[in-house]
Amino acid sequence: MFFRENGQFKSTYRADMQLLPIVQDRYFMLGLIAVALVAVPFVATDYLFLSIINPFLILTLAAIGLNLLVGYCGQISIGHAAFMAWGAYAAYNLVQRVPMLNFLVVLVLAGLIAALVGMFFGIPSLRIKGLYLAVATLAAQFFTDWIFARVKWFTNYAHSGSVSTAPVTLFGWTLDTPRDKYLFLLGVLIVFTLIAKNLTRGHLGRAWMATRDMDVAAEVIGIRPVYAKLTAFGVSSFYCGVAGALWGFLQLGSWEPLAFDLNLSFSLLFMIIIGGMGSILGSYLGAAFIVVLPIALNQVPRKMGMPLSTAMASNVEFMIFGSLIVLFLVLEPHGLARLWAIGKEKLRLWPFPH
């Protein structure tokens, strides 16, 4: 940025290891959180919350989850919406059947159930990788779609097959306005981001990355591949499970299994490819991009006086996503997050690059 870290010396290991070693970065981050907590709730309209900000927060959480698996551990999944579905339906059933549970507990339990399912479908990853794993996760996707559409117990014998939820109440705080939901989601996302950031810095994250970079070498230096892969599947599905529960309860309100279909899985994958694989920041950028692009495609041509038809807008969206994926893979495989880092580095040296 426009600042230098001159004169900031680290004299303890603690200072060396901290999350944001540069003091300006810390202030920037605190400022950002303050803006998100204080300014955004006053400025943003309900429409903005409902159609952009809240989906962005929830999908970011899911994208972080998928990124832990694909970006950090190198195991591809094109069925991660399935684990969101498991989280959402687990939360629904917990709320229906054990009404005295606090919603936070429900969230954690839903995440744990999704994690179990994720680890189960992660078992093939111990024998196969890459392309084969893609099919295994597709199996998870289609099987999950089916099970929630057909097994009546999961939907509590709802007639139409879709389930609906009451507004969430937390310690007497009812989350019924978009603003309340936003504040709650923001809190959850901050906590989970911190956890993810630290996980990837710790031994678990290193084990994942070693497995991703070269599995045989990782095994040689004493990382158990079974452990690394299954934990990656578990943690990743946990994140997606929590995100799915939030998506169901705080975004959709009532939903049917189609809400978590293959298209959502693809969207999640696109978020991390465009945002940046192996980067928490990338999950944020990618989610923002994927949430905003369809709305921009709808609004911008209309403002310019030549509205696209719905079908055409979705086709153009497909084309833009498709070409962006290829472009990013060819030109900048680490996505928007890498572009951001490059820009930051350039600015740090600016205006005297030598």
Partner 1 sequence: MSIPRYAPVAILGLLLAAGLVAPLATGETAPGFWVEVLIGGLMTGVLYSLVALGFVLIFKASGVFNFAQGAMVLFAALAVARLAERMPVWAAVLATVAIMVVLAFIVERIVLRPLVNQEGVVLLMATLGITFFLNGFGQAVWGSDIYEINLGIPREPMMVLGKVFDGGVLVNRDDIAAALAAVLLVGALALFFRHTATGRALRAVADDHQAAQSIGIPLNRIWVIVWSVAGIVAIVGGVIWGGKLGVQFSISQVALKALPVVILGGFESVPGAIVGGLIIGVGEKMAEVFLAPPLVKAFDLAGGGIENWFAYVLALLFLLVRPEGLFGERRIDRV
- Could you list the residues that contact partner 1 (CB under 8 A)? 74, 76, 78, 124-132, 134-136, 138-139, 142-143, 145-146, 149-152, 161, 215-216, 225, 262, 266, 269, 273, 311-312, 314-326, 329-330, 333
Cβ-based nearer residue to partner 1, 38 or 300: 300
| CA–CA separation, 234 and 151 (whole Å) | 24
Report in angstroms how near the CB of residue 274 gets to partner 1 at its nearest. 10
Question: For residue 20, which phi and psi values (nearest 5 degrees)?
Answer: -120, 95
Element (H, E) at 175: strand 173-175
Name the DSSP class of 130.
Answer: T
Cβ-based nearer residue to partner 1, 179 or 334: 334
Question: For residue 163, which phi and psi values (nearest 5 degrees)?
Answer: -115, 150
Report in angstroms how near the CB of residue 349 gets to partner 1 at its nearest. 29
Taking CB atoms within 8 Å and a gap of at least 24, the contacts of 198-206 are: 198/19, 199/68, 199/235, 200/68, 200/72, 200/280, 204/228, 204/231, 204/235, 205/72
Cβ-based nearer residue to partner 1, 112 or 293: 293
Name the DSSP class of 254.
Answer: E
Report in angstroms how near the CB of residue 278 gets to partner 1 at its nearest. 13
Report in angstroms how near the CB of residue 218 gets to partner 1 at its nearest. 11
Report in angstroms how near the CB of residue 141 gets to partner 1 at its nearest. 8
Please list, in sequence order, all residues whose beta carbon lies within 8 angstroms of the beta carbon of residue 186, skipping any fewer than 6 positions away: 36, 37, 57
